[in-house]
Amino acid sequence: MGHVKRLKCLVCGTEYDENEVMYTCPKCGDNGLLEVEYDYESIKREFTKEYLSNNKSYSLWRYLPLLPINDPSKIAPLQVGFTPLYQVPRIREDLGVSNLFVKDDGRNPTASLKDRASAIVVSKAQELGKTEITCASTGNAASSLAGATASLGLKSYIFVPKNAPKAKLTQLLVFGATVFAVNGTYDEAFDLSIKATREFGWYNRNTGFNPYTVEGKKTVALEIAEQLSFDVPNYVFVSVGDGNIISGVYKGFFDLLNLGFIDRMPKIVAVQAEGCSPVVDAVNGDGIIKPVVPNTIADSISVGIPRSGIMAVKYIKNSNGFGIKVSDEEILKAIKYLGTMSGIFAEPAASTSFAGYLKALKEGLIKGSDKVVVIITGNGLKDIDSAMKSVKEPIYIDPTIEDVKRKVMEINELFRRR
Ligand SMILES: Cc1ncc(COP(=O)(O)O)c(C=O)c1O
Ligand SMILES: N[C@@H](CCOP(=O)(O)O)C(=O)O
């Protein structure tokens, strides 16, 4: 058995046994997000530094005692997690900063951080005997769910906006999901998937509904802490849509604090696009989420009604973090800068966190000596049409060495004139 003590409603505080409820608090309805609370004293007996040093698993299952899994024989087989934490030396030198790290979570099996949540939810579904799982998504959560269900032979029913980036749609189809391409927004797809859950009895993975997505996403923070030998950063920069990833980041560090692995919490920084910033506005304002009509190139964070928003705002404030907004132009520039200076390829929603870091540094909100981790949440290959907007066209040539020579001379001439 796992070490979950209870589920607690974030809104009214009612406590439930983990077998008592499946999704949100019955008293508060769809707003009643549940937090998963653990028996830290029993975890402490199992999960020690010695346990970690003897552990040969380099995936999120390395942290099994800290996860809500009761039957480890049911866990999903894809290799999720333990993504690289880079020191990015060229960027450090260019910006004159000494302590920057970039966590590349685009290196997960379906190329986004969402794999962490899907691994847990699908394993939970197996424990519950559910073979049909649904979710609403802008594409990444969906492809992670479809990949995880494919690995186990389960069925997935996916609701995505019909204009989701083609690579994300392609992943879904290749993984064999049943795809409902909704003539509407992600927010509409979300409501539809909840209705379908109630209609057909499918298990639902949706963020802000299923309490276990945060538990999967928190493993990114557990890894960051371990990769930094538990000397945690001052700041962690996270792109925000629904606010579920950032809640997971907080929760991971919070668990480690309660277990005595770390002695302070990093400040968690939310980054959103100027055209869709309900969480940042709430964090920097009165704390209340006001839904918006999204308008940003970063499709994955194009979320007008942040379903984990209440939790995200609470956690960001608890950590003494802050929120920052960036323009679409800054998001595209960050894709190019990160790619050119580190070899890391981020999709727009993922480069948003890095754009926020650059802006916070420029505006003096953080110092060059601060220890900072920027999380890259999804791979740039997910949305090459947007990435192409951040770069120039290639040099088109005839297949002759003369043409190559001519172009090289032109390039050298351009450099001389600069
Ligand atoms: C690549 C990427 N980055 C960031 C986010 C934001 O995560 P959240 O919606 O949990 O705030 C998402 C998905 O929502 C995403 O797919
Ligand atoms: N942009 C997200 C929306 C939902 O993702 P989730 O993991 O928070 O449920 C996506 O990737 O679809």
pLDDT in tens, 50-102: 999 999 999 999 999 999 999 999 999 999 999 999 999 999 999 999 999 99
Instruction: Delineate the domains of the chain, giving CATH numbers in brackets.
Output: 85-111+213-388 (3.40.50.1100)
pLDDT in tens, 189-242: 999 999 999 999 999 999 999 999 999 999 999 999 999 999 999 999 999 999
Q: How far apart are CA 262 and CA 251, in angstroms?
A: 13
Q: Which pLDDT band, with edges at 50, 70 and 90, does 1 fall under?
A: confident
Tell whether ligand 2 has an atom less than 6 A from the beta carbon of residue 139.
Answer: yes
From the CB of residue 27, how many other CB atoms can be counted at a distance below 10 Å? 12
Q: How far apart are CA 133 and CA 200, in angstroms?
A: 10
Mutate which of 118, 190, 300, 305 for ligand 2 pocket (most atoms within 8 A of beta carbon): 300
Apex CA 140: angle with CA 387 and CA 390, to 5°?
Answer: 10
pLDDT in tens, 406-416: 999 999 998 88
Tell whether ligand 2 has an atom less than 6 A from the beta carbon of residue 300.
Answer: yes
pLDDT surpasses 90 at 123 = yes
DSSP conformational letter for 183: S
Question: Considering the entire predicted model, what is its pTM?
Answer: 0.97
Q: Which long-range contacts (CB under 8 A, 24 or more apart) does 85-94 make?
A: 85/223, 85/224, 85/227, 85/228, 85/373, 86/342, 86/344, 88/341, 88/342, 88/344, 90/341, 90/342, 91/337, 91/338, 91/341, 91/342, 94/341
Ligand 1, atom nearest to 244 Cα: 10
pLDDT surpasses 90 at 183 = yes
Ligand 2, atom nearest to 114 Cα: 7
Query: What pLDDT is stored for residue 315 in this prediction?
Result: 98
- List 269's β-bridge partners, or say none: 237
Tell whether ligand 1 has an atom less than 6 A from the beta carbon of residue 300.
Answer: yes
Å from CA of 65 to ligand 2 middle: 25
